[in-house]
Structure 1
């Protein structure tokens, strides 16, 4: 007998960074975990948002996450650290700077 999770969860070197993902998709288990645990999305809401996913696949991803929580949480933390480092290197966005200047100009205009 093949465990149900292996029908839905794949881990292949060179695919999704070798991280566990929903078979046939580029959606990692950690994505489903973040949507469910941090954003509060139910499995049904995840399927409604990503209709190419099946409900059993989402539940399999959540089961995999809960069976490998420390490993998946470490991957999430590493990704968040990487994003923070890249943002710090890049500095403020040009759009943010332009909006800041526009708001400063609006604030300096005195009424009537």
Structure 2
């Protein structure tokens, strides 16, 4: 058994040049937003870890912990992303109808 302890604060990171500075699972390109979206769709942490095979269950739980602590911020980010996707889709439909 390993006696190495991990500081949970090292599991979530952000960099201005990666995904616009959104919180990420450290050492990956996986955003907390992506984990939160799947969680909100009803996936369990184990299912999320299985979908992204290079993540450990601890990394997924760290992302979910970050999400629950910062729910308003992450939910606002998700809503903004969805609104932008809707806007782009509407522009695309309008240009096809012209």
TM-score bin, normalised by smaller chain: 0.7 to 0.9
Q: Residue 53 of structure 1 aligns to a residue in which SS?
A: coil
- How many residues are aligned here? 91
Q: Residue 53 of structure 2 aligns to a residue in which SS?
A: coil
Length-normalised TM-score, structure 1: 0.75
Matches within 5 A, 1:65-80: 65-80=67-82
* Structure 1 unaligned spans of 5+: 95-112
Length-normalised TM-score, structure 2: 0.86
Larger Rg: 1
* Structure 2 unaligned spans of 5+: 1-5
Give the Cα separation in 2 of the matches to 1:54 and 1:18. Answer: 22
The residue that corresponds to 2:53 in the other structure is 51
The residue that corresponds to 1:14 in the other structure is 17
The residue that corresponds to 2:3 in the other structure is none
Q: Residue 59 of structure 2 aligns to a residue in which SS?
A: helix
Give the Cα separation in 2 of the matches to 1:66 and 1:57. Answer: 14
* Structure 1 residue ranges, 4+ long, deviating more than 6 angstroms after superposition: none
